[in-house]
């Protein structure tokens, strides 16, 4: 992704800056070089973020929706606000929908569908959905991408990348991601969501995985009518889960089916729905549940599933040590982690969930809180864990409403026992033993070659041992500063003495002009400037970073000029 903004993008940049300033974020506008008045606001910062994104339009609304499932990037207060972002996109005129569908399918609309409703069932920033009927009588839902949305998203992404580079290092961002990395995560999510063929494959995979599970329904995808911008699925008729009465028998049945499906998604197949909010789940006749919208999914590797197993079993059986070590091993850290304090924090969280009913617990969800603790200890987990945590918090929220007086630990204990039994069953232990033996065989086979390589490198002097002292860099910096100050002092002294000598020889030159004294005055001014530089270096050396100043200057230059290459 290019990092400069073209001249045609400047009006949009100004709109963004004015909108941010209107919601109390004028400092961000000033960082990118647009000075504007900041409106005073008594609203909490998290709410102002949501309101600003809503005012900025579809791309920024989608940015908020994508970030709302990432507790490893943003704090809980902001996530709660962003989860309320709703698409209020205007409806696309039907003629534009007809043109796009016919172009994608390569035939007239009447040949593909016996009926196609002109009024959409739903309209969002990326797409809108129309009800239709096939010629064989099957009722379908047709998801049609908004015309021109890819160009709009690319233009706004272009702007987001440049703004992120300009504010990087200027604004303290919560979590473990830099502004540029946040935009990269957004771009990845949007590119997946724009490809309806990928969503179709995800829906088919879900349908296949859930076939053995009674009471869980996945709509059929009509692949022959699907393209990158058109998705045709079986139309499901039912009651949205958010409208089901809490505590009712229908609600209890639906919730237990959701827990069963969640278990199979995470631990049996490693392929899960990333956004199971109540609006994406229907309750069909008989308490069956139906998942909708497969634009956001996640995949867990076998290693990730093992970590999730350790975490899940540890939570149920109250083993804080296992949970803490599983989270620590799964993440990446750039500094030392106080494992004892981390374990104590995990144990404190676990104490909340044992013996408590769902109505007594935090609205954030258990996994979300564990992700937040890991972030505080600078443990960066794979994005899949963050998406699982957010999806799990949505399931927690549904359970809290449908099973308010239930102890969630006791509700999921049978699944944890089943998981542990399978984990330590003869088949799994045998497979693990064979895998360890295979790795050991490979290691022993390669050991002689590696030993010979090491001896050859030692003999030829290619091996070097480096020791790092945490305080050495600070000491080197102090020595460098001292050297600079001594050099400035010596140069200033030498120039001052030279200038004084030249001024003392006040006598006309052969042309009648006192050249040397004037030259001495010039040298004296240079010496005075160097002395001033010495004082400034002594006072502000810790804040002077020439490389950072150069980087900012180049960023501002690219912001306005851009890449002039071919």
pLDDT, tens digit (0-9, with 9 covering 90-100), for 408-460 = 677 777 877 877 777 666 766 676 677 767 767 777 777 788 788 878 877 77
Question: Is residue 250 a part of any domain in this protein?
Answer: no
Question: Is residue 450 a part of any domain in this protein?
Answer: no
Residue 45 has pLDDT above 50, yes or no: yes
| C-alpha dist (Å) from residue 364 to 83, 276, 360, 369, 400 | 12, 15, 12, 7, 11
Residue 362's domain comprises 300-427
Nearest alpha carbon to residue 166 among 547, 550, 551: 551
Q: Look at residue 115 in the predicted model and tell me its pLDDT.
A: 96
Span 87-146, pLDDT tens digits? 666 788 999 999 999 999 999 999 999 999 999 988 887 889 999 999 999 999 999 999
Does 423 lie in the same domain as 484? Answer: no
Question: Is residue 505 a part of any domain in this protein?
Answer: yes
Span 331-351, pLDDT tens digits? 777 677 888 888 888 888 877
The strand pairing partners of 233, in sequence order, are 141, 221
- Counting the structural domains of the chain, the total is 3
Question: Is residue 214 a part of any domain in this protein?
Answer: no
Does 169 lie in the same domain as 29? Answer: yes
DSSP for 176-245 reads S--HHHHHHHHHHHHHHHH-HHHHHHHHHHHHHHTTTSTTEE-PPB-GGG--SSEEEEE----EEGGGSP
> Using an 8 Å Cβ cutoff, are 229 and 100 in contact?
yes
> Which of 388, 405, 427 corresponds to the end of one domain?
427
Does 420 lie in the same domain as 528? Answer: no
Task: Collapse the DSSP code of 370 into the 3-class scheme (helix H, G, I; strand E, B; otherwise coil) and give the result.
Answer: helix
Q: Look at residue 379 in the predicted model and tell me its pLDDT.
A: 83
Q: Look at residue 24 in the predicted model and tell me its pLDDT.
A: 76
Rounded Cα gap, residues 463 and 454, in angstroms: 8
Question: Is residue 95 a part of any domain in this protein?
Answer: no
Q: Look at residue 484 in the predicted model and tell me its pLDDT.
A: 75
Question: Is residue 432 a part of any domain in this protein?
Answer: no
| Bridge-based pairing state of the strands 230-234 and 239-240 | unpaired
Instruction: Work out the number of other CB atoms within 10 angstroms of the CB of residue 38.
Output: 16
Mean predicted confidence (pLDDT) in 78-95: 78
Span 489-506, pLDDT tens digits? 888 788 788 777 777 766
Does 169 lie in the same domain as 79? Answer: yes
Does 491 lie in the same domain as 421? Answer: no
Q: Look at residue 562 in the predicted model and tell me its pLDDT.
A: 53
Residue 39 has pLDDT above 80, yes or no: no
In this prediction, residue 180 has a pLDDT band, given cuts at 50, 70 and 90, of: confident
What crossing angle do the helices spanning 179-194 and 196-209 adopt, rounded to 10°?
80
Q: Look at residue 290 in the predicted model and tell me its pLDDT.
A: 93
| 275 in catalytic set | yes
Task: Give the range with max mean pLDDT: 105-109, 163-167, 188-192, 245-249.
Answer: 105-109
Mean predicted confidence (pLDDT) in 230-249: 85
Span 380-407, pLDDT tens digits? 788 788 788 778 777 877 777 777 777 6
Question: Is residue 106 a part of any domain in this protein?
Answer: no
Q: Look at residue 402 in the predicted model and tell me its pLDDT.
A: 79
Does 163 lie in the same domain as 14? Answer: yes
Out of 72, 275, 310, 396, the active site residue is 275
Residue 525 has pLDDT above 50, yes or no: yes
Does 172 lie in the same domain as 38? Answer: yes
Question: Is residue 348 a part of any domain in this protein?
Answer: yes
Nearest alpha carbon to residue 257 among 444, 415, 431: 415
DSSP H or E run through 272: strand 271-273
Does 30 lie in the same domain as 165? Answer: yes
Classify residue 407 by its DSSP letter. Answer: B
> Which of 193, 221, 251 corresponds to the end of one domain?
193
> Using an 8 Å Cβ cutoff, are 304 and 384 in contact?
yes
Residue 142 — φ and ψ, nearest 5°? -110, 115
Does 38 lie in the same domain as 169? Answer: yes
Does 182 lie in the same domain as 34? Answer: yes
Q: Look at residue 1 in the predicted model and tell me its pLDDT.
A: 46
Q: Look at residue 134 in the predicted model and tell me its pLDDT.
A: 96
Report long-range pairs for 350-356 (Cβ below 8 Å, ≥24 apart): 350/315, 350/318, 350/320, 350/323, 353/315, 353/408, 353/409, 354/318, 354/409, 355/407, 355/409, 356/407
Span 154-178, pLDDT tens digits? 888 888 887 777 777 665 555 556 7
Rounded Cα gap, residues 115 and 188, in angstroms: 35
Does 414 lie in the same domain as 536? Answer: no
> Using an 8 Å Cβ cutoff, are 65 and 49 in contact?
no
> Which pair of tokens denotes residue 173?
């961002």
In this prediction, residue 2 has a pLDDT band, given cuts at 50, 70 and 90, of: very low
Residue 310 has pLDDT above 90, yes or no: no
Residue 275 has pLDDT above 90, yes or no: no
Mean predicted confidence (pLDDT) in 63-76: 74
Cα-based angle 64, 373, 400 (whole degrees, multiple of 5): 70
> Using an 8 Å Cβ cutoff, are 366 and 71 in contact?
no
Does 423 lie in the same domain as 511? Answer: no
* pTM of the predicted model as reported, rounded to 2 decimal places: 0.67
> Using an 8 Å Cβ cutoff, are 500 and 524 in contact?
yes
Q: Look at residue 170 in the predicted model and tell me its pLDDT.
A: 61
Task: Give the range with max mean pLDDT: 18-27, 193-202, 277-286, 418-427.
Answer: 193-202
Q: Look at residue 116 in the predicted model and tell me its pLDDT.
A: 96
């Amino acid at each position: 992704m290019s990092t400069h903004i073209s001249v045609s993008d400047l009006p949009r940049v100004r709109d963004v800056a004015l909108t941010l300033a209107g919601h109390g974020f004028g400092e961000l506008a000033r960082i990118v070089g647009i000075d504007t008045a900041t409106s005073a606001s008594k609203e909490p910062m998290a709410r102002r973020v949501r309101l600003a994104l809503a005012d900025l339009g579809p791309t920024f609304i989608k940015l908020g929706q994508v970030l709302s499932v990432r507790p490893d990037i943003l704090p809980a207060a902001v996530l709660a606000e962003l989860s309320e972002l709703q698409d209020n996109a205007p409806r696309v005129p039907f003629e534009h929908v007809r043109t796009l569908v016919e172009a994608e399918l390569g035939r007239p609309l009447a040949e593909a569908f016996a009926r196609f409703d002109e009024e959409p069932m739903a309209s969002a920033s990326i797409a809108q959905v129309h009800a239709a009927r096939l010629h064989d009588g099957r009722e379908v839902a047709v998801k049609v991408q908004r015309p021109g949305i890819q160009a709009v998203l690319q233009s706004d992404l272009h702007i987001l990348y440049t703004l992120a580079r300009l504010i990087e290092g200027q604004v303290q961002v919560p979590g473990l991601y830099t502004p540029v990395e946040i935009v990269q995560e957004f771009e990845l999510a949007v590119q997946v969501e724009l490809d309806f063929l990928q969503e179709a494959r995800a829906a088919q995979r879900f349908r296949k995985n859930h076939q053995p599970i009674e009471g869980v329904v996945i709509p059929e995808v009509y692949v022959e009518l699907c393209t990158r911008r058109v998705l045709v699925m079986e139309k499901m008729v039912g009651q949205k889960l958010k409208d089901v009465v809490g505590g009712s028998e229908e609600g209890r049945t639906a919730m237990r089916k959701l827990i069963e499906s969640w278990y199979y998604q995470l631990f049996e197949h490693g392929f899960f729905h990333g956004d199971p909010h109540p609006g994406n789940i229907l309750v069909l006749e008989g308490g069956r549940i139906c998942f909708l919208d497969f634009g956001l999914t996640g995949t867990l590797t076998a290693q990730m599933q093992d970590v999730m197993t350790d975490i899940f079993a540890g939570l149920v059986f109250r083993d804080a040590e296992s949970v803490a070590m599983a989270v620590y091993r799964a993440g990446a850290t750039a500094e030392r982690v106080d494992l004892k304090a981390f374990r104590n924090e995990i144990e404190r969280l676990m104490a909340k969930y044992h013996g408590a009913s769902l109505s007594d617990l935090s609205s954030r969800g258990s996994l979300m809180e564990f992700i937040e603790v890991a972030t505080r200890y600078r443990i960066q987990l794979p994005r899949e864990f963050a998406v699982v945590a957010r999806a799990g918090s949505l399931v927690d929220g549904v359970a809290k409403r449908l099973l308010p007086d239930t102890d969630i630990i006791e509700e999921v204990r049978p699944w944890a026992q089943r998981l542990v039994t399978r984990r330590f069953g003869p088949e799994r232990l045998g497979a693990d033993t064979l895998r360890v033996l295979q790795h050991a065989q490979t290691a022993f086979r390669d050991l002689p070659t590696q030993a010979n390589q090491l001896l050859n490198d030692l003999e030829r002097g290619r091996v070097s041992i480096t020791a790092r002292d945490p305080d050495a860099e600070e000491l080197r910096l102090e020595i460098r500063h001292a050297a600079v100050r001594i050099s400035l002092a010596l140069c200033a002294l030498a120039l001052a003495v030279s200038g004084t000598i030249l001024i003392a020889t006040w006598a006309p030159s052969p042309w009648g002009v006192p050249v040397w004294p004037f030259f001495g005055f010039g040298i004296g001014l240079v010496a005075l400037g160097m002395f001033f530089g010495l004082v400034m270096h002594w006072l502000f050396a810790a804040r002077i970073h020439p490389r950072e100043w150069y980087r900012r200057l180049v960023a501002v230059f690219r912001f306005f000029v851009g890449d002039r290459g071919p």
